[in-house]
A and B are shown apart, each in its own frame.
Chain A
Amino acid sequence: MAERLFIFKRFERFWHWSQAVLIVVMMLTGFEVHGFYTLFGFGDAAVYHTTAAWSLLTIWAFAVVWQFTTGEWRQYIPSLRNVDVMFFYYLFGIFTGASSPFHKSATQKHNPLQRLAYLAFLSFMSPIVWISGLLYLFYPQWPAWGVDNLLALEWIALFHTFGAFLVLWFFIVHVYLALSGPVAHLKAMITGWEDVE
């Protein structure tokens, strides 16, 4: 018997997709500024990259408040329970056509692997990108802040590029796994409702 569950609230969906668009824009422009290819032109790429950065930071500010006021932050509490089950599912079960061992609910939106992955995204990859990115952005202020002799733009830039690659890798796997599951998962991210068997 089919059941409809309301999984992703309106703000959550808005956060997800605006973040998705902005991260894609920042990857495209960031890697151009880094010198990998020419797409928008260096100047435009730099301007878009900076604008997207400030936009995403603004959305993040709202998201952080939202996570804590709604208690949704609990979705990211890590646990090793059933991580192995999920892991073996992706390694073997998924090839046999077995359905996912994880059953989504409004209080358990993410499977144990997802929890770990998203927590890593929020607490490790993002800080690397943001801290290095903001230092990069405020490079002209370094002398005024007195950090001129402590930091080298060369290493900040390397750190930032490292963060960018982490995001790229996350992006590849995330998009693949999202497409590998039932269409219902994707629909839930768009409408908020998921049809559960």
Chain B
Amino acid sequence: MLSISRAAIAAWTVGAALICASAFSATSPQPAGAVASSADPAAASGVPFNAATSAEFRKGASTADHSRFRELDKEFKSGPEVTKACLSCHNEAARQVQHTKHWTWDVVNPENKKRLGKKNVINNYCTSPISNEKDCMACHVGYGWKDGNFDFSSEENVDCLVCHDTTATYRKLPGDAGHPVYERKEFPPHSGKFVEAADLKKIAQRIGKSGRSNCGACHFYGAGGDGTKHGDLSSALKKPGKYLDVHMNAEGLNFTCTKCHQTSGHQVAGSRYQLPAAEKGAAHIRGKADAAPEACQACHGNTPHSGRLSLLNDHTARVACQTCHIPEFARDPIGTEMSWDWSTATKMGPDGKPVVTKDSAGRRAFDTKKGTFVWDSYVIPEYVWFNGKFDYKAVGDKIDPAQVVKINRPEGSPAGDDSRIWPMKVHTGKQAYDKVNNTLIVAHTAGEDDTALWHNFDWVKAIGAGMKAAGLPFSGEYGFVSTEMRWPIAHMVAPKEDALNCIQCHSPDGRMKNIGGVYLPGRDAKPWFDWGAGVLSVLIFLGVLIHGGIRYISTRKGV
């Protein structure tokens, strides 16, 4: 009897040990198995899969191994040749891309029919790509846009690789009109650093879904340098820690850009021209048509706080999630550019030659070609009512040089419920303008020709060439005007522990100091009322003290 139960226990123990061992052996081939499996939705949801073969397939791997396609097994001479090969199977891809603003750089505001998009608006950094296409189009999803005669209908000019390269070896440099590096090249010029020619065959054979580096190649480096433009986008997001971005945290959720900017038929969700600033209602159920998947509300809903924190849900009708959950932007040493003053451009160094200086953190501070720059990190945003739309200055629009020119003006107001309080980066600067026509100008900056500002350092020639390319008049007289541009802050979402405290807004000198149209407890008491009621309170208190004092004295005498 005893021996039977012992045998049973022994058998059970051996069996349990085997199960444990097999469980461990199943996970052990994966490095950092515990973290990887917990972040893997397929594993977490218990989808049955063969553990033995799982290591052979990356998560989200394609069903096609492009290295085995005959179409890609050849030496490509140019980008367009690769595109032709891609299109031989993906025969709708180019036409899809051609319907996106990644291709057109042209957006029509549906409300007032004003033409926006990078081709038409002026920004507060490099100002306009017009007449500078050879440089600027390093960030165009196409090949060969070098002047005003680019063929937007040419399918082979669509650049598939820039968004689908997984080797991180595909680079497009300024000066090449969107073509990748075909021959080994010194870059930046005279720097002694070289960029290798892209191995187009290898890159084509290893293409995949767009990752952070693909989007980041342009969006992290906008305005000519890491972190320069947006304030909430920089190369720090390639592999951020939780502190910098809870969603993209490489050790945690590890979101790619397209997790939120969901893409269908090459249309990427999310636009600065029409931003979902005030989404309402519960989180979206999978499968439901999703108007704005990039909005926080799409996943979190409008009442994301529970329990003790549920009072915070009262804010969502007025305050954008970003306002509390991105307490500072550029939260890394890379920082972001806060000001670009073109009026000092063309000033030579003491030896009469162009000069470039850096600030103490190694970021550009002055460049004879471009002017003076101011940088900052860990920046507190400005807060404004914002309904997702900007009123943009486009090329040729009139300005009032006596005032700071708002390159874009966020629209929105506390009235109604289409606006929320949003955090913004404010980028200031000075730009050249036409003193007679009162318009901002288009300058021909980049290039090696005689009219290029960065070659000849002659504003009149540069503006003349730029305005001619833009089809606009130039009087010949130019000056500089102060400008401002605003950028909505939506990335670099901090962990909840780092979100704003109540008192950072609910106090007289808090972050909401300049926000009107809403009553904020802790900020908006009426001094006349508080003084009146306070004085009355003191008088009443004194009254009972005096009454008590007299009572004490008189009754003591009476004793």
Question: Chain B residues with Cβ under 8 A from A182's Cβ?
Answer: none
Contact with B along A1-25 (1 / 0, CB 8 A): 0000000000000000000000000
Q: When the two chains form the complex, which single residue of A46, A165, A172 contacts B541, counting CB atoms closer than 8 Å?
A: A172
Asked if B476 lies at the interface with its beta carbon under 8 angstroms from chain A, I say no
With known contacts A35-B521, A94-B551, A97-B554, A161–B508 Cβ distance under 8 A = no
Interface residues of A in 128-169 (CB under 8 A from B): 139-140, 143, 152-154, 157-158, 161-162, 165, 168-169
Contact A34 B314, beta carbon cutoff 8 Å: no
Asked if A173 lies at the interface with its beta carbon under 8 angstroms from chain B, I say yes
Asked if A86 lies at the interface with its beta carbon under 8 angstroms from chain B, I say no
Asked if A43 lies at the interface with its beta carbon under 8 angstroms from chain B, I say yes
Chain A residue with minimal CB distance to B554? A95
A interface residues, how many (CB within 8 angstroms):
33
Q: Distance in Å from the Cβ of B432 to the closest Cβ of chain A?
A: 45
Contact with B along A84-103 (1 / 0, CB 8 A): 00000010001111000000
Asked if B523 lies at the interface with its beta carbon under 8 angstroms from chain A, I say yes
Contact A169 B525, beta carbon cutoff 8 Å: no
Asked if B90 lies at the interface with its beta carbon under 8 angstroms from chain A, I say no
Q: Distance in Å from the Cβ of A87 to the closest Cβ of chain B?
A: 13
Q: When the two chains form the complex, which single residue of A41, A158, A176 contacts B548, counting CB atoms closer than 8 Å?
A: A176
Question: Chain B residues with Cβ under 8 A from A35's Cβ?
Answer: 506-508, 521-523, 525
Contact with A along B105-136 (1 / 0, CB 8 A): 00000000000000000000000000000000
Contact B555 A95, beta carbon cutoff 8 Å: yes
B interface residues, how many (CB within 8 angstroms):
37
Asked if B2 lies at the interface with its beta carbon under 8 angstroms from chain A, I say no
Docked CA distance A162–B534 (Å): 11
- Tally inter-chain residue pairs, CB-CB below 8 A: 87
Most buried by A among B308, B519, B555: B519
Contact with A along B516-534 (1 / 0, CB 8 A): 0011011111100110010
Q: When the two chains form the complex, which single residue of A33, A157, A169 contacts B519, counting CB atoms closer than 8 Å?
A: A157
Main SS class of interface, A: helix
Asked if A50 lies at the interface with its beta carbon under 8 angstroms from chain B, I say yes
Asked if B449 lies at the interface with its beta carbon under 8 angstroms from chain A, I say no
Contact A173 B519, beta carbon cutoff 8 Å: no
Contact A165 B537, beta carbon cutoff 8 Å: yes
Asked if B313 lies at the interface with its beta carbon under 8 angstroms from chain A, I say yes
Docked CA distance A42–B520 (Å): 12
Docked CA distance A22–B530 (Å): 23
With known contacts A140-B313, A176-B548, A162–B502 Cβ distance under 8 A = no
Can you name 18 A-B pairs with beta carbons within 8 Å?
A: A35-B506, A35-B521, A36-B530, A38-B503, A41-B502, A43-B501, A46-B311, A50-B311, A95-B554, A96-B558, A140-B317, A153-B519, A154-B524, A157-B519, A158-B529, A165-B533, A172-B541, A173-B544
Interface residues of B (CB under 8 A from A): 308, 311, 313-314, 316-317, 417, 501-503, 506-508, 518-519, 521-526, 529-530, 533, 536-537, 540-541, 544, 547-548, 550-551, 554-555, 558-559
Besides A158-B526, A169-B537, A176-B544, 13 more A-B contacts (Cβ < 8 Å) are A34-B521, A34-B525, A35-B523, A41-B503, A43-B501, A43-B502, A96-B554, A97-B558, A161-B530, A168-B537, A169-B536, A173-B540, A176-B547
Interface residues of A (CB under 8 A from B): 33-36, 38, 41-43, 46-47, 50, 90, 94-97, 139-140, 143, 152-154, 157-158, 161-162, 165, 168-169, 172-173, 176, 180
